[in-house]
Amino acid sequence: MNNKLTTGIHTSGEKHLVLATGRAHPELAQAVARELGIELLPTTAYDFANSEIYVRFDESLRGADVFILQSITNPVNKWIMETLIMVDAAKRASAKRITVVLPVYPYSRQDKKHMGREPISARLMADMFKTAGADRIMSVDLHASQTQGFFDGPVDHLWAMPTLVEYVRTRVDLAESVIVSPDAGRIKVAEQWAARMGGLPLAFVHKTRDFSRPNEATANRVVGEVAGKTAVIVDDLIDTAGTIVGAAKVVLNAGAKDVIIAATHAPMSEPATKRLRESGVREIVITDTLPIPSDKQFPQLTVLPIAPVLATAIEEVFNDGSVTSLFDGAF
């Protein structure tokens, strides 16, 4: 019998992955759970009469690797608060590691100061999640990649591009197509789209924006050749659709045969549905990072599932694998 003492105590327990969801987009969380082959963590959550939020996890989280998934849709601030409360509850339940899965990063467009005395709200979001107890953040197609640096910890920046490209390739004649960026700031993403589509030519729409008037931009002209071609306009987000529809009209006026719009996130704030339906665009392709209610759906809209991307990334993080390798050098 070996009575020699060892340093520390070694357990024989296995790692435990737990997936919890807020109330903003439970359908997406259920789809991710199906991809992982697990059940969602039973959770009690409700609003008090004065609108305060209550959350309690109905099973033990001690020593677990907890992933809290919340799509921050309208009302944005309510779902941010619920997520923070869930993180706090998991921390106080002795979870080993807490990863906040935000398919859409909140306040992502407020990532820098355009004028004096403005906040950098995207940084504030990172600080709040860290203070609440988050160890890691996972998000899809950040508005600006440098947002990763706001959080003091690992950030997994996932890409919907492979999912979107795979579908769009089946909808166009590659020999007669062009990738279009809706503004100069998205050129890098458009270049990656062009490469993945087999080296398609590039164009971009020159626009001006008055930062004192939110959700408004004026598309002026196309830089690049689009006449007689199918223009694939790519962006990260469609909110009121003013920018993207304006870009589509400029491209069509420049002689494009038709237009397909591809974007990752679609808050679809009014009047986005009306604008897109009446835009003359052949098809709008998005993912379901945010819920798309039936009253905001229309014949030209195609919604692709993001759950396989999220589930694969969650599994890689849980198994200490590589998230970057999932996207074939997209970073």
Catalytic residues: 207
Nearest in space to 206 (alpha carbons), one of 271, 276, 254, 146:
254
Q: Which token pair is 259?
A: 């237009």
Distances (CA, A) of 287 to 121, 162, 171, 274, 321: 25, 12, 16, 19, 25
Distances (CA, A) of 305 to 52, 133, 190, 289: 32, 29, 21, 8
Nearest in space to 138 (alpha carbons), one of 88, 103, 90:
103
**One-letter amino acid for residue 159 of the chain:** W
Q: What does the buried/exposed string (b/e) look like for 252-270 if buried means 16 or more CB atoms within 10 Å of the residue's CB?
A: bebebeebbbbbbbbbbee
H-assigned helices in the chain: 26-36, 76-92, 121-132, 161-168, 187-196, 242-253, 272-277, 307-318
User: Is the C-alpha dihedral spanning 78, 80, 84, 87 positive or negative?
Assistant: positive
